[in-house]
Copies of this chain bind each other. A is one copy, B any other.
Amino acid sequence: MQLFYQPGIPDGTLFLEPEESGHCIRVLRKKGGDKITITDGLGSIYTARILEANSKKCSFEILETESLPPKGYNIHIAIAPTKNIDRIEWFVEKCTEIGIDRISFFTGKYSERKILKTERLRKKSIAAMKQSIKARMPIISELQKFEEMLNTVDDNTDRFIAYVDHSNNDSLFRLASKGQNYCVLIGPEGDFSSEELKIALSLGFRKVNLGNSRLRTETAGVVACHTLNLINS
């Protein structure tokens, strides 16, 4: 099944954006009257019929709306982007496939990457959402300083910081319980500073490990996301 993306449908937008229109009309050669499937990335999937098969602005009418029930849990991963941008793109793609609600990026004291263009990451996420036939597009926030980002974490969230030290045998898998809102902090290649750890702990984050292996930043992010999905499966 081919899924198209138009986030504006709830606000009354009844055409595809230029890129999606081109894919629909020029690449897939859809015609007026053909049925297509569209998601708004907000939890709904629409069966629609093409009205004008315009490769720049393909208009449609909605025949049927299917709104997914709430999942009953919410996964927010806040991560320090890696030096190598491919690795963070991969993290965004894989978490979108596996299932994630919100991705925040932060710079910490030991971050090597201080600049991040999120536009390309959003595109990767949209492609992954369409590929895996999901109706929910994660919220992807701009890069912020660690402390600023912490202020954006929702109240009423089960808070974890992936941090390994000798005094810490708690794993995310054992500590997280089903049906919660979660936020997991994943540090940069150089790890969190002790000051950052202290701030996080003071805000109710609990130290957890993600298993027995020493993982790269982006792997830790995917593993945390998958662990929380498994707990809720």
Contact = CB atoms under 8 A, between A and B. Distances in A.
Contacts of A227: 226, 230
A215 B95 CA distance: 11
A98 interface: yes
A219 B94 contact: yes
Contacts of A229: 211-213
A212 B69 CA distance: 14
A150 B98 CA distance: 28
B173 A230 contact: yes
Interface string A54-81: 0000000000000000000000000000
A230 B99 CA distance: 18
A156 to B, nearest CB: 24
Interface string A95-136: 001110000000000000000000000000000000111100
Contact of A222 (B212, B222, B230): B222
17 contacts: A94-B219, A97-B216, A97-B219, A98-B211, A98-B219, A99-B212, A132-B215, A134-B213, A173-B233, A211-B229, A211-B230, A212-B233, A222-B222, A223-B226, A226-B226, A227-B230, A230-B230
Contacts of A222: 94, 222
Interface string A193-227: 00000000000000000011111100100110011
A47 interface: no
A163 interface: no
A171 interface: yes
Given A131-B216, A216-B97, A216-B131, A211 B223 contact: no
A215 B99 contact: no
Nearest to A212: B233
B214 A132 contact: yes
Nearest to A99: B213
Nearest to A215: B97
Contacts of A213: 97-99, 132, 134, 229
Contacts of A226: 223, 226-227
A132 to B, nearest CB: 5
Contacts of A214: 97, 131-133
A128 to B, nearest CB: 9
